[in-house]
Copies of this chain bind each other. A is one copy, B any other.
């Protein structure tokens, strides 16, 4: 096989590759409302819409066992799937978990992993209803599928943002990415043969955002309470730039995002400074925040303007205006998808 061919996969990228392989699919089932192309598929069964999403996590690509406690990994593996369900404005109800384990794993290791999985099920009130366990010749493989439920009229896609809608994000951005940078820097200490422990004191917040993230159940509950249905929504797993471009592309609109409105935690800023790194880059292009990015009709602005969880960061424009960031100095910068590409990047260099 030539290098050229190998490169093709990485150059297509995850979304390009899926599009390339599945563009000719016909959806034939009456129950299929939405197939590939959103955070989750949407199926109608009876009078209910269910959403279905799946994620594959591979050792060395999505996680590095050198610095990832198995319990946290199990927890995170569930949370990243639930985040996709919430991003459809649905409530997760069930998950299945399939695991492939290499021979270096003992029953104790699996117990730790499952402890995290069960903790997440408990916290987010979902049932673990099935799965599969197998040997893996090599690394740890975790595949989780989540099912959620919503009223048809509440399902929120990526494709219905419209001109003048307010663009909002929840929580803060870039922390998980800075947590990853810290763990990568301290990796050598983790693997050293003497008993040195990495000094992670004072970095708890960004480490937690990387190792044990939470999904935005609270925000979906808040929407219900405030009687808001966003016009479009996506979860921020690949950085704000990449995600707002998904919404703009699917909705056929542009957007104007203001740098000074993007919420970045002080801990993230401090860590970025230590690394001589612009925190805004972590927010725009870092991954794994699992916050929600959504758009709402301007008529709903009053409902969210004093909500501490929600930060308006810009508005939707027309397609011709492109998707742009207005920098703190007032410059207009075109947003580009430089998010984490699982077909190119690795979490491990071993």
Chain A residues with CB under 8 Å of chain B are: 1-2, 5-6, 8-10, 12, 14, 17-18, 20-22, 24-25, 27-29, 31-32, 34-36, 40-41, 43, 45-48, 50, 52-56, 58-62, 93-94, 96, 98-101, 103-108, 110-111, 114, 118, 121, 125-139, 141, 143, 145, 147, 149, 342-344, 346, 348
Contacts and interface: CB of A to CB of B under 8 A. Distances in A.
A106 B8 contact: yes
Given A6-B104, A346-B135, A126 B46 contact: no
Total copies of this chain within the assembly: 2
B61 A137 contact: yes
A29 B130 contact: no
B61 A130 contact: no
A149 B45 CA distance: 9
Contacts of A143: 54, 56, 98, 141, 143
A126 to B, nearest CB: 7
Nearest to A105: B9
Given A20-B107, A46-B45, A94-B32, A130 B59 contact: no
Contact of A114 (B22, B43, B133): B22
Given A47-B46, A111-B21, A27 B129 contact: yes
Given A52-B147, A58-B137, 15 more contacts: A5-B107, A5-B108, A6-B103, A8-B107, A9-B101, A17-B133, A21-B114, A25-B128, A41-B94, A43-B93, A43-B129, A45-B48, A56-B132, A58-B134, A98-B143
Contact of A138 (B105, B108, B137): B137
A65 to B, nearest CB: 12
A326 B71 CA distance: 48
Contacts of A137: 58-61, 138-139, 346, 348
A242 B341 CA distance: 43
A27 B127 contact: yes
A45 B147 CA distance: 11
B61 A135 contact: yes
A25 B145 CA distance: 17
Which of A35, A56, A58, A147 has the most chain B CB atoms closer than 10 A to its own CB?
A56
A32 to B, nearest CB: 5
Contact of A127 (B2, B12, B28, B107): B28
A96 B46 contact: no
A154 to B, nearest CB: 15
Contacts of A61: 100, 134-137
B342 A134 contact: yes
